[in-house]
Structure 1
Amino acid sequence: MNEIKIIIEKSKDSFGAYSENVPGIFGAGDTAEECKQSILDAVETLKGLKACPKELLGDYVISYRFDTISLLNYYKGIFTNSALEKMTGINQKQIQHYTTGHRKPRPEQRKKIEKAFHSLGHELLAVEL
């Protein structure tokens, strides 16, 4: 199964995305959500073309890599800064600085955020109802 690697990044006034390993896949939007949808639309458009990239033929999975500001903005409607503080151990003011782009997290802080999201994901995968 092919993996389509998508990078989502915050620019000065919008969000942009592109595929790291498949040519021709680009997207943009005012929010990270719009940007992600734009990428999915681009993939569907490419699948309908005669010159469809071979990676989109057959089964594939899309993986996303966010920069910190894009990730925090993407999940802003789901997690409060208080919840992110509990998950990561990073205080709310600092998280707000990262979310707005006023400060960039050091590599250790990025790893804390990434680890917290992965831990939550693993915990949720173990839930049964």
Structure 2
Amino acid sequence: MRTVKVVIEKADQNYSAYLDGIDGIIATGQTVDEIKNNMYEAINVLVEECAELGCDVPEELQGDFELVFQMDVKSLLDFYTGIFSKAGLERITGINQKQLWHYSSGKRKPRPEQALKLEAALHKLGKELLSINL
């Protein structure tokens, strides 16, 4: 099964997403779930329209594929600003708050190692939370 990357970015009033390397398919939304649903819907509309009009469906969207959603650090920090404080993120990532503020403002982009460090810490937190039953 091939994977197709969906890039989510902060827009003016919401978030927008597009398929990396495939032109013409976009989705918007206020939440990640809304963006995911809208992206699947946009792909389905494209496939249906191509069937009606006799045009070719992009090769990446033929057969079995999986969408992988990716967000840049600035958009992620903006999206979860009401959930994660910079102090809390510093505790779980080891990245100091000042750096996190620079990343969230867009003044600096994190080095790939820092982005991976943030991603790994959030994935670890997610796994810990999934293992808890109340």
TM more than 0.5? yes
Matched residue, 1:20:
20
Q: Are the aligned partners of 1:4 and 1:63 in contact in 2 as well (CA < 8 Å)?
A: yes
Distance in 1 (CA, whole Å) between partners of 2:119 and 2:28 is 23
**Bigger shift: 2-11 or 109-118?**
2-11
Distance in 2 (CA, whole Å) between partners of 1:56 and 1:38 is 21
Judged with a 3 Å threshold, the aligned counterparts in structure 2 of structure 1 residues 70 and 36 are, in CA distance, closer, same or farther, namely: farther
- What is the deviation of 1:16? 3.9
Distance in 2 (CA, whole Å) between partners of 1:56 and 1:84 is 39
Matched residue, 1:40:
37
Query: Which consecutive residues of structure 2, in runs of 5 or more, have no partner in the other structure?
Result: 52-56
Distance in 2 (CA, whole Å) between partners of 1:36 and 1:102 is 28
Please give the TM-score of this superposition, normalised by the length of structure 1.
0.71
Please give the TM-score of this superposition, normalised by the length of structure 2.
0.69
The equivalences for 1:98-117 within 5 A come to: 98-117=103-122
Identity %: 40
Query: Which consecutive residues of structure 1, in runs of 5 or more, have no partner in the other structure?
Result: none
Deviations 1:55-94 (A, max 9, x none): 488x865421111111111111211111111111111122
Matched residue, 1:88:
93
**Between Structure 1 and Structure 2, how many residues are aligned?**
124
Distance in 2 (CA, whole Å) between partners of 1:35 and 1:84 is 20
Given residue 20 of structure 2, which amino acid in structure 1 is its aligned partner? E
Given residue 6 of structure 1, which amino acid in structure 2 is its aligned partner? V
Deviations 1:11-66 (A, max 9, x none): 7x57542113665421356xxx3687356324314424332758488x86542111
Judged with a 3 Å threshold, the aligned counterparts in structure 2 of structure 1 residues 87 and 56 are, in CA distance, closer, same or farther, namely: farther
Matched residue, 1:69:
74
Q: Are the aligned partners of 2:25 and 2:42 in contact in 1 as well (CA < 8 Å)?
A: no
